[in-house]
Amino acid sequence: MPAAPADRRFVLTLSCPDRPGLVAGVATFLASFDGWILEAAHHSDAVTGRFFMRQEVRADSVPFGLTELRGRFAEVAAKFEMTWAIHDTAEPPRTVFLCSKQDHCIVDLLHRWRTNDLPCELVAVVSNHDDLRSFVEWHDVPYHHIPVPPGSREDKQPAFDAVRKLCRELDADTLVLARYMQIVPPDFCDAWPNRILNIHHSFLPSFVGGKPYHQAYDRGVKLVGATCHYVTPDLDAGPIIEQDVVRVNHADTVDDMVRRGRDVERRVLATGVRLHLEHRVLVHGNKTVVFP
């Protein structure tokens, strides 16, 4: 649902080459029309010489609409060579969750969505199995079953084409792979750059690919974890948004690791999705700046 007028905010995010006057330039612009700043954060990367900023402004303090705000800020952005965006919290991202048979992540996300912990317009759940239809539809969310056959990438491509077509028809802005258990093809990744989020059940870059808990068990690690990251054509190598770990020991079996890891997966994915939906993640190369 759209945010209530008193809570409506314009969220400005930007990055640019670091130089003196950046913070003052943005602050002066907002002060020129008495813009009411509710939240402000910035980061200067000494290694890359890049500057990052996120500002939240009360929408009712801006005496004109979003289109004019963007038009006026474009002059400031050009002066400082900024890559930037201004988002309206009254227009939450249109989001699709994708899942498979394992339900722990999708169950958690749906609960958080119903309790308004995830600021998005959930337009559909897509699955390659039909097992979770009744549970999803109980939440009054459309459920689309698009089977993905086993086999080569070429065998699976028609299914991914169907998923991509559906998401385009739904005008989806953000896709969340909630244990979807499929490697999406490069053209799919390129269609939503830095807008497809995945949960991988290991502390990346350790144990990429399939059966990471089995890999961790064989290696005898003392910590297992989970990673929420953006999906890129390189398997499990996209920019990392959120991570966490849980301690294990020599007495734990693979099943123990899986059981403990599920709790971490749920928490990490939910946190990563919320940070993305609130426009708190700025991507630079293969790294992210995350404003809490």
Active site residues: 236
What are the DSSP calls for the chain, one per residue?
-PPPGGG-EEEEEEEEE--TTHHHHHHHHHHTTT--EEEEEEEEETTTTEEEEEEEEEGGGSSS-HHHHHHHHHHHHHHHT-EEEEEETTSPPEEEEEE-S--HHHHHHHHHHHTT-S-SEEEEEEESSSTTHHHHHHTT--EEE----SS-HHHHHHHHHHHHHHHHHTT-SEEEESS------HHHHHHSTT-EEEEESS-TTSS-SS-HHHHHHHHT-SEEEEEEEE--SSTT-SPEEEEEEEE--TT--HHHHHHHHHHHHHHHHHHHHHHHHTT-EEEETTEEEE--
Rounded Cα–Cα distance for residues 42 and 127 (Å): 38
The interaxial angle of helices 66-80 and 22-31, nearest 10 deg, is 150
Residue 5 forms beta bridges with which residues? none
Contacts of 225 (CB under 8 A, 6+ apart): 202, 203, 243, 244, 245, 246, 261, 264, 268
